[in-house]
Amino acid sequence: MQNVVIDSVKTVIGWVPERWLPGGTPDPLIGRRGAVGTQASRLDGPLKVAGQARFAGEVAMEGMCYATLVHSPVTRGTITRLDTGRAEAAPGVILVMTHRNMPRLGTVPLISMTDLSAVGNSAVPIMQDAEIRYNGQVVALVLAETQEQADHAASLLDIDYAVSAAKTDFDGAKPNARVPASILIEKNHVSVGNAERELGSARYSVDNVYKTPGQNHNAIELHAVTLAWQGDSLTIHDTTQMIAASATAIAKLFGLKREQVRVLSPYVGGGFGGKGLWDHQIVAIAAAKLAGRPVRLALSREGVYRIIGGRTPTEQRVAIGADGDGRFTALVHTGYSVMPPYGASPEQYSMSARAAYRSKSFEIIQRHLDLDIVPNTFMRAPGEAIGTFAVESAVDELADQMGIDPIELRMRNEPEQHPLSGTPFSQRALRKAFEDGARRFGWEKRQAQPGMVRDGEWRIGMGCAAGSFPYARMPGAEVRIRLGRDGTATVSSSAQEMGMGTATVQVQHAADRLGLPMEAITFEMGDSDLPAAPMAGGSSQTASLAAAIAAAADKLTVELLRLAGNASPVAGLRVGEVRLMEGEIVGIEEPSRRESFNSILSRSSRDEVVVTAGGGAPLEIFKFAMHSSSAIFCEVRVSDVTGEIRVERLLGSFDCGAILNPKTAISQFKGGMIMGLGLALTEETLFDERSGRIMNATLADYHVPTHLDVPEIEVIWTGIPDSRSPLGARGIGEIGITGVAAAVANAVYNATGKRVRDLPITLDKVL
Ligand code: MOS
């Protein structure tokens, strides 16, 4: 059904003239900027450095008590005995909640492309029955006067389980793999020409299986809520990437009106896809209701591993056939990942092969394995982060086989339009990104023959890879602009600040859009009572908010022109004929026709003008192929003695449209690239297939890169604006990670002659 709807939309949009669509006329701010493009410092920086930014687990509430969760140690089974007596008798205990006394609730609607208020990551019933469906599932919640008392009492619950057989074996699940019809908004199965036949007759070919492990979310800030009921209304301090949608979903789930639920999340200490609506918020809300007390529930690090999904493991086949000139005749990208039927995240790794290269034939399909696990979720460039590892490793292998430079091979297959849909790229300068990156990195010093460069026990090698991430703008973004007679403006939206500089960049934007200095603008966010912003995810928030602010600025202009009336020098001008600059409405053709906001408001006896507007549906993504791209370069040294792999240098050359704030952008790119190093070298969820349990649920055992693992990272960009997006910008949040793992793997091959096709690349694999 979804495929049919989207196909129809694409067909209709194909007929509609460009100028009628969003992005049809380039945003005038692309060529005219003041605050945008400057290195504005993060507005939330001083508060965070001073420790004054209050996070969800730090908010204090009058009469608050503390919650601890009890998790199932078995994977499948039934609770056969549940004795809460010892826990209830423990000092300070207020409530022990289990499936027996948990209020009956429906399931949270799963995140989907069709209902943007749906936020659930799991359709597993939350403490509604005695059944255990995955290892780590919440079976009880204990409330006490102190955290220590709650933790202690939680250890006193006596629970017996009847264990039944569980599905925990990746390979064993393959015969029953499901083939979903669609992956996000793309058709899953793509078959162009006969790729297997082309592969069989290709002059050059590679055909390999690449494996990536499961990974877990490890935001610095642990998941936490502090919340209270006031009668039938709820106030929830949460750490979430989806403030407005969470409020809507919670209201539905607890049978409340949307206005009765307020979610506050002004600061999020890292989201990465993991800060959605999970079981802990729901049980905390229910427990607060039963106890009649405000509740704080902060997950432990282990708790995050138990009930917050991470990235699924994958096994991907990538095969490429090429003719004598290296032009691709076949591109095959198929594979398996885990996605239980009660999950919501398909890990779209096959996107990597859909937009990157021209090929005579394609065969692309993803298969889902059904295991009894906490459902995996979105995580740090879901899909592309690991899909590019497979595809970009395979390209490197093919270049090696052909004896040509891997950048040259990529450029020979650079598509002129989207390889599958044939839609034009809105902007794509991957070639320039590679050229600039290669020059800056000193790629010409690379020895094509592996294992040629040595420094004592160290072998040294260089590798590169391309990365890509689709542009997204979410529908339903609303903002309110309040322009005061005093020359200040407040822009309000329930948007999320996860550390990337949301408010900072939108203040820069609003300053230019409204013709005011940055100091005159306040961006109000993080509160579901404000006009609803879509979730911060898919590298989409900046564009989503920017389109809404642009629409609201237009509406504000209309309102100011109306208030200006017939006596004004701008009388008779219309919204497209004026711009807002330096506190005035100014005629574009005749700049002498102008009047200040202050004068207009004074004359009409108004203290302020308030407008609310939305960004409209993102139809441009059906008319144009819109992707951010990257060229990643890496130099490694690998010890002959220990197999230790040190990344010496890492350079990212990005093509992501206009860069709105170089300072915050560099941070995001570097952060993404460091996540890429984790993916390449250290991160791996160790899942015990015998027990169905994650074995390394601590930061001591699950290794993320530390400062000493991270080399000097260089970031450059083309900065070429995308004429189809607000401000000419595309997302930059997730592109940083894509391509990094392949660049590292390719460098390790160049250093050692060892091709590692399963992540992470640990020393045992290169010795
Ligand atoms: Mo991201 S994985 O869309 O937070």
Is 537 touching ligand 1 by the criterion CB < 6 Å?
yes
Q: Identify any residues that bridge with 368 across adjacent strands, giving them in sequence order.
A: 178, 337
Of the listed ranges 20-29, 154-163, 211-220, 360-369, the one predicted with least confidence: 20-29
Q: Please list, in sequence order, all residues whose beta carbon lies within 8 angstroms of the beta carbon of residue 46, skipping any fewer than 6 positions away.
A: none
Angle, CA of 590, 594 and 595, to the nearest 5°: 170
pLDDT band at residue 115 under the 50/70/90 scheme: confident
Is 272 touching ligand 1 by the criterion CB < 6 Å?
yes
User: Is the confidence at residue 118, as pLDDT, over 90?
Assistant: no
Query: Which residue in the block uniquely carries the two structure tokens 């994977």?
Result: 75
Pick from 41, 219, 46: which is nearest to 664 by CA? 41
pLDDT band at residue 381 under the 50/70/90 scheme: very high
Residue 27 structure tokens: 């945003």
pTM over 0.95: yes
For the segment 697-744, what is each residue's pLDDT rounded down to a tens digit?
A: 999 999 999 999 999 999 999 999 999 999 999 999 999 999 999 999
Q: Nearest 10 degrees: CA dihedral of 70, 74, 79, 82?
A: -40
- Between residues 13 and 356, the one the model is more confident about: 356
Is 469 touching ligand 1 by the criterion CB < 6 Å?
no
| pLDDT score recorded for residue 250 | 96
What is the phi/psi pair of residue 661, to 5°? -150, 105
Is 379 touching ligand 1 by the criterion CB < 6 Å?
yes
Atom of ligand 1 nearest to the CA of 377: 2
Percentage of the chain exceeding pLDDT 70: 100
pLDDT band at residue 138 under the 50/70/90 scheme: very high
| pLDDT score recorded for residue 185 | 87
Is 217 touching ligand 1 by the criterion CB < 6 Å?
no
Percentage of the chain exceeding pLDDT 90: 94
Largest CA distance in the chain: 84
Atom of ligand 1 nearest to the CA of 498: 4
| pLDDT score recorded for residue 476 | 87
Chain centroid, CA 88 distance in Å? 41
Task: Over range 750-762, report the average pLDDT.
Answer: 98
pLDDT band at residue 569 under the 50/70/90 scheme: very high
- Edge-to-edge strand list for the sheet holding 489-492: 521-524, 489-492, 478-484, 608-614
| pLDDT score recorded for residue 69 | 98
For 28, other C-beta atoms within 10 Å of its C-beta total 13
Q: How far away, in angstroms, is 540 Cα from ligand 1 center?
A: 9
For the segment 148-194, what is each residue's pLDDT rounded down to a tens digit?
A: 999 999 999 999 999 999 999 999 999 999 999 999 989 999 999 99
CB-facing half-sphere around the CA of 24: CA atoms within 13 A? 12
Pairing assessment for the beta strands 261-264 and 295-298 based on DSSP bridges:
unpaired
Query: Which residue in the block uniquely carries the two structure tokens 């949270």?
Result: 108
Is there a catalytic annotation at residue 734? yes
For the segment 433-443, what is each residue's pLDDT rounded down to a tens digit?
A: 999 999 999 99
Angle, CA of 341, 737 and 730, to the nearest 5°: 95
Is 472 touching ligand 1 by the criterion CB < 6 Å?
no
**From CA 79, how far away is CA 538, in angstroms rounded?**
39
Question: 223 near 304, Cβ under 8 Å?
Answer: yes
Question: 496 near 242, Cβ under 8 Å?
Answer: yes
> How distant, in Å, are the alpha carbons of 23, 125, 405, 424, 426 from that of 623?
10, 40, 34, 8, 9
> How distant, in Å, are the alpha carbons of 8, 9, 178 from that of 354?
20, 20, 21
Question: 551 near 475, Cβ under 8 Å?
Answer: no
Q: How far away, in angstroms, is 93 Cα from ligand 1 center?
A: 37
Query: Which residue in the block uniquely carries the two structure tokens 């994650």?
Result: 694
Q: Identify any residues that bridge with 238 across adjacent strands, giving them in sequence order.
A: 225
Q: Output the average pLDDT for the chain.
A: 96
Q: How far away, in angstroms, is 481 Cα from ligand 1 center?
A: 28
For the segment 285-336, what is each residue's pLDDT rounded down to a tens digit?
A: 999 999 999 999 999 999 999 999 999 999 999 999 999 999 999 999 999 9
| pLDDT score recorded for residue 130 | 98
**From CA 457, how far away is CA 514, in angstroms rounded?**
60
Read off the DSSP letter of residue 743. H
**From CA 281, how far away is CA 284, in angstroms rounded?**
5
Q: Please list, in sequence order, all residues whose beta carbon lies within 8 angstroms of the beta carbon of residue 656, skipping any fewer than 6 positions away.
A: 628, 629, 630, 717, 729, 730, 731, 732, 735
pLDDT band at residue 251 under the 50/70/90 scheme: very high
> How distant, in Å, are the alpha carbons of 348, 350, 378, 567, 703 from that of 188?
9, 9, 18, 60, 33
**From CA 590, how far away is CA 460, in angstroms rounded?**
63
**From CA 200, how far away is CA 329, in angstroms rounded?**
10
Pairing assessment for the beta strands 458-470 and 453-455 based on DSSP bridges:
antiparallel
Pick from 557, 548, 549: which is nearest to 597 by CA? 557
| pLDDT score recorded for residue 8 | 87
Atom of ligand 1 nearest to the CA of 734: 1
Query: Among the options 524, 683, 684, 734, which is catalytic?
Result: 734
Chain centroid, CA 459 distance in Å? 36
pLDDT band at residue 32 under the 50/70/90 scheme: confident
User: Is the confidence at residue 579, as pLDDT, over 90?
Assistant: yes
Pick from 344, 285, 388: which is nearest to 120 by CA? 344
Task: Over range 33-55, report the average pLDDT.
Answer: 95
| pLDDT score recorded for residue 10 | 87
Is 271 touching ligand 1 by the criterion CB < 6 Å?
yes
Is 380 touching ligand 1 by the criterion CB < 6 Å?
yes
**From CA 393, how far away is CA 601, in angstroms rounded?**
61
Q: How far away, in angstroms, is 379 Cα from ligand 1 center?
A: 5
Indicate the top mutation candidate among 268, 679, 734 to test ligand 1's pocket, ranked by most ligand atoms within 8 A of CB: 734
Q: How far away, in angstroms, is 274 Cα from ligand 1 center?
A: 7
